[in-house]
Structure 1
Amino acid sequence: MTDQPLKAAILGASGYTGAETVRLLRNHPNVTPVAATGNALAGKTLSDIFPHLRGKYDLDVIKAEDVDWGGIDVAFGCLPHGTSQDLIETLPAHVKVVDLSSDYRFRDAVAYSKAYGREHIAPKRTANAIYGLSEHAGDAMKGADLVACPGCYPTAILMVLLPLMNPMIIDRDAIIIDAKSGATGAGRGLKEGNLFSEVTEGLHAYGVGTHRHTPEIEQELNLRAGLNDIEVTFTPHLIPMARGEHVTCHLRGDVDAIHAALSAAYEGQPFVSVLPLGSPPPDTRHVRGTNDCRIAVYPDSAKGRVIVIAVIDNLVKGSSGQAIQNLNLMMGWDQALGLDALLPLFP
């Protein structure tokens, strides 16, 4: 433990990722949340908004401009895209930032503006931000002042695909991704499509052929492969459960080579398990509430095709847990600090 724990501010603490970040930091010996921002709900306490935090974190929710930033060491950005960069760019230089929004994930500000429909106000900063897929950017994060956490879908998908890019052991022109996420992936805002009666007892695709995570996935694959023309077919689906993410990647390649590459890539990693060939498929319930990712590889009945399945908790490994893992790496701590005691919530 450090002599003095880092003092953390949670930006946008009234959303799911803000609440999850606070919940997880309860287990962290080196970080203490001392400020929670949320302009719309300023004046309430965090436990008023999230009763499950009562008695643990009863922080007053205040406006960002009312935070004493001189006493803050790190800010977790849990705000929507656009809103996040507008606030982060006003923070003092000494405040380290772990941003959970999409605002600093794109190296190219033009690509960001195409995906999100607004110009980036700090194109040089987004170009230099560390893309925080923890297991693949660990060394680069040490000492960084800004890390951009990947989206929840890209996290699970890139965990599968990045180890297969260099050397390229799959057909790069035949990558198909079928992905499913719980309703928390859409945020906490009031949306008709997220109402219980609209979500329950059904499953639907969304963002078909146009989802904003597609260029993020392609950016990272091309960077890893040293190419600029890799494209993927990515179709996300909303499934009627609160949390969890399940991605199925349909690839063309050799099943043994793919399994070997994934096993080698994650050997010794505390949060990633590549299951032995022939294992039963992983279930989102196997990782619920944890920072874990489980990956399994299967031969397809179609000759030369391989199926790779990955599961994560979209709010933990796909968001707040990975953010804390990234802070650990930024500070040179054990990457599992504060996260290694999390066991899956089952059933």
Structure 2
Amino acid sequence: MTHKIAILGASGYTGAELVRLIATHGGMEIVALGANSKAGQSMAEVFPHLRHLDLPDLVTVDEIDFATVDLCFCALPHKTSQEVIKNLPRDLKIVDLSADFRLRDPSAYQAWYGNAHAATEIQKEAVYGLTEFYRDEIRNARLVAGTGCNAATGQYALRPLISGELIDLDEIILDLKCGVTGAGRSLKENLLHAELSEGTNAYAVGGTHRHLGEFDQEFSTLAGRPVEVQFTPHLLPMNRGILATVYVHGDPDAIHAALSEAYLSEPFLEVLPFGETPSTHQVRGSNFCHIGVTGDRKPGRAIVVAALDNLTKGSSGQALQNANLMLGEDETRGLMLAPCFP
């Protein structure tokens, strides 16, 4: 069976990544590509690296006949996404890559994103899209809310440790480095080559990054009480990748054993031998996440390092993984591409 697929926001990085992955899937056909700002152009004009693919031209969302679509990926900015999705057919399967349906509490969404949620009735049916932990709910969902790429990385490092009561929940420090594609494709002065290259900087310092809303929601639910991590992201002059270094109080051997056991049967989560730590190079362009654990020179402390590609496992690859479950496909279909190295 071939599933008919639409992608909204196809002119962005995550939209292009979805096209790249679906091209190897074999069970999906892209029948519509929505991109209001570039409507009328071909995908080859917008992304020349995809010119070898037979793809429909970009159109406005209003031009798409969703009656012919089995599943829609929505790769639009937050706020825009909820406005579009609330007007889509209510029987259409949707995987949303924006932030609009990640937070279950509308007041939390307003606090972190600065505007009232415009689709609260639909938000109630959204399933959080961290595949490995919400697999059964995703399989039966109509609307799946993809996680933030930073939020996914931190959760892969920490969820088994929190649920296993292996670490001090009041002493979690998450130091994260991310590539510039995490900021999207819109023109921004601080992302110009002359202003970004040959340097790095921390941003959203002091607990203002929006992905903290996801950490608060997910970690507090796991622990059964409020958990607030210290989180500082840093922007690096690289295109892809996230490297999260997590400092925790707990036994390093027990932490490594817990992560190894939790992810033993997961096709995309690889726990390295104790003492080894990953690089973003090792997962580039893939749907894999590598996790390493090492001890600290201070007894009773451990360092967990997780690496993934923000455009793939952190976003579009995760979205395709979820779509496979929603459509009854093998979860790994179209996603077993090896990382691109060097």
- For structure 1, the residue ranges without an aligned partner over 5 or more in a row are none
Matched-pair identity in %: 50
2:121 aligned with 1:86: no
C-alpha displacement of 1:94: 2.2
What is the TM-score with the length of structure 1 in the denominator? 0.96
- Equivalent position of 1:250 in the other structure: 247
- Partner residue, 2:341: 346
Residue 7 of structure 2 is aligned with which of 6, 10, 21? 10
Decide which of 218, 221, 224 is 1:220's aligned counterpart. Answer: 218
1:173 aligns to what?
170
Structure 2 counterpart SS, 1:93: coil
Q: Which residue identity does 2:12 align to in structure 1?
A: G
After TM superposition, the structure 1 = structure 2 runs for residues 195-214 of structure 1, keeping only pairs within 5 Å, are 195-209=192-206, 210-214=208-212
Q: Which runs of 5+ in 2 are unaligned?
A: none
Q: Is the 8 A contact 1:107 1:128 kept in 2?
A: no
- Tell me, in whole angstroms, the C-alpha distance in 1 between the residues paired with 2:54 and 2:152: 28
* Paired position in structure 1 for 2:110: 113
By how many angstroms is 1:169 displaced? Answer: 1.1
Check the 8 A contact 2:72/2:93 in 1, yes or no.
yes
TM-score scaled by structure 2? 0.98
Secondary structure of 2:19's aligned partner? helix
Using the TM superposition, give the Cα deviation of residue 167 of structure 1 relative to its aligned residue in structure 2, in angstroms. 2.8
Match of 1:326 in 2: 322
- CA contact under 8 A between 2:178 and 2:233: conserved in structure 1? yes
Backbone CA RMSD of aligned residues: 1.0
- Residues of 1 paired with 2:214 and 2:300: CA distance? 27
2:173 partner amino acid: I
Q: Structure 1: how far apart are the matches of 2:22 and 2:224?
A: 37
What residue in structure 2 maps to residue 307 of structure 1? Answer: 303
Moved over 6 A (4+): none
Tell me the CA shift for residue 93 of structure 1: 1.7
Question: Which residue identity is paired with 1:286?
Answer: Q
Is the deviation greater in 326-335 or in 111-120? 326-335
CA contact (8 A) 2:275 2:295 kept: no
Paired residues of 1:108 and 1:123 also in contact (CA < 8 A): no
In 1, are the aligned partners of 2:9 and 2:15 still within 8 Å (CA)? yes
2: CA distance, partners of 1:30 / 1:80: 27
Specify the alignment match of 1:26 in structure 2.
23
Tell me the secondary structure at the aligned position of residue 163 of structure 2: coil
Code of the aligned partner of 1:166: S
Secondary structure at the aligned position of 2:293 is classed as strand
Matches within 5 A, 1:144-293: 144-209=141-206, 210-227=208-225, 229-279=226-276, 281-293=277-289
Amino acid at match of 1:292: F
Q: Is the 8 A contact 2:153 2:307 kept in 1?
A: yes
SS in 2 for 1:10: strand
Aligned partners of 1:57, 1:15: CA distance in 2, in Å? 19
Alpha-carbon distance in 2 for matches of 1:305, 1:293: 23
CA distance in 2 between counterparts of 1:264 and 1:82 reads 39
- C-alpha contact (below 8 Å) 1:73/1:94 kept by paired residues: no
**Which letter maps to 1:331?**
L
Distance 1:319 1:134 in 2: 11
| Superimposed CA distance per residue, residues 162-201 of structure 1 (whole angstroms, 9 cap, x where no aligned partner) | 1112231100000100001111000000000111111100
